[in-house]
Amino acid sequence: MSGALKEVRNRIQSVKSTQQITKAMKMVSAAKLRRAQDAIIEMRPYAKKLQEMLSNIAGNADGDVSMALATERPVRKVLVIVITSDRGLCGGYNSNLIKLAKQVIREKYAAINGKENTEILPLGKKGYEHFTKNKFAVIDQYWHIFSELNFEHVAAVSKFAMDAFEKGEVDAVELVYSEFKNAATQKFIAEQFLPVKKSERKKGETKADFIFEPDKNILIKELIPKILNTQLYKAILDAHASEHGARMTAMDKATDNAEELLKTLKISYNRARQAAITTELTEIVSGAAALQG
């Protein structure tokens, strides 16, 4: 076999092996996606209702000393929670999230010199590696959260952000994550986590009159952190489902691309084989003619 034929055959075997891997990864991601999708779909109505409750309470509790987490003040330092994945091979998922986080720092917080007065709290190895490599101030306590994802670990991250805000160590907390739409679609979102956004009363609308039982201050103090924990958990579940959807889509496209490449390589192999056979026949005919001569 000629060197050209051997090279093409080796490439065909290599592409076939890669295609088997991408097919397997697609199937694994599809299985994980089903579980992650079920989790976020079940969580969303509950989280949405709690978010509405939180905004209403914050918007109608003006002057309440216990509403420290809704207190707006001049921003001198910001904490950005960026939720990426631990692994790659999921298309532009991680790069889009990192790009959005940098855009928020550069544009929304341009007045505080962006990067210099920003702390990054990465959730996910890819974000942690990128921001550490690029010399951002990185909080490295929670980046491995996906290795054992549960509500208690998420609540610890939320508590860290709330404590930093209440102590005045940061004046705002931004959350950057991917909202799951379907397996092929994710929406990259940057939203304010702290201070708590207040619902805006329309002109002529009366202030809501909540009845609190037990004491108003005690209830609000207990309720708001729990709701914020839930909001962060919902964002992480969204991100978890988005990651698997993005990886499944990327591996599906990679498998299709491998199939197209195989077709091209097989055509090249057949042409090279035909050329080799033709050359051999030509040499045989030429040799026979020389003997006859």
Among this protein's residues, is 95 annotated catalytic?
no
Residue 87 lies in a domain: yes
At 60 the pLDDT is 64
Answer positive or negative: Cα dihedral of 241, 242, 243, 249. Answer: positive
What's the total number of domains in the chain? 1
What number of other Cβ atoms are within 10 A of residue 63's Cβ?
5
- 52 domain residue, yes or no: yes
pLDDT at 292: 75
Q: Is 114 within a domain? A: yes
Phi, psi of 228 (to 5 degrees): -65, -40
129 inside domain: yes
CATH number of the domain that residue 51 is part of: 3.40.1380.10
| From 25, 90, 232, 235, active-site residue | 90
What pLDDT does residue 290 have? Answer: 76
Per-residue pLDDT of the chain (293 residues; tens, 9 = 90+): 567 788 888 999 999 999 999 999 999 999 999 999 999 999 999 898 888 877 777 766 655 545 788 888 999 999 999 999 999 999 999 999 999 999 999 999 988 877 789 999 999 999 999 999 999 999 999 999 999 999 999 999 999 999 999 999 999 999 999 999 998 899 999 999 999 887 665 555 555 566 666 676 777 778 889 999 999 999 999 999 999 999 999 999 999 999 999 999 999 888 888 887 888 888 888 877 777 75
Please write down the HEC assignment for all residues of the chain.
CCHHHHHHHHHHHHHHHHHHHHHHHHHHHHHHHHHHHHHHHHHHHHHHHHHHHHHHHHHCCCCCCCCHHHCCCCCCCEEEEEECCCCCCCCCHHHHHHHHHHHHHHHHCHHHCHHHHEEEEEECHHHHHHHHHCCCEECCCCCCHHHHCCHHHHHHHHHHHHHHHHCCCCCEEEEEEEEEEECCEEEEEEEEEECCCCCCCCCCCCCCCCCCCCCHHHHHHHHHHHHHHHHHHHHHHHHHHHHHHHHHHHHHHHHHHHHHHHHHHHHHHHHHHHHHHHHHHHHHHHHHHHHHC
Query: Is residue 289 situated within a structural domain?
Result: no
User: Which pLDDT score, from 0 to 100, does residue 261 have?
Assistant: 95
Specify the pLDDT at position 65. Answer: 42
Give CA torsion, residues 155, 106, 240, 231, to 10 deg: 40
Residue 31 lies in a domain: no
Token pair, residue 284, equals: 């045989």
Q: Is residue 265 part of a domain?
A: no
63 assigned to some structural domain: yes
pTM value is 0.86
Containing structural domain, residue 231: 45-199+211-244
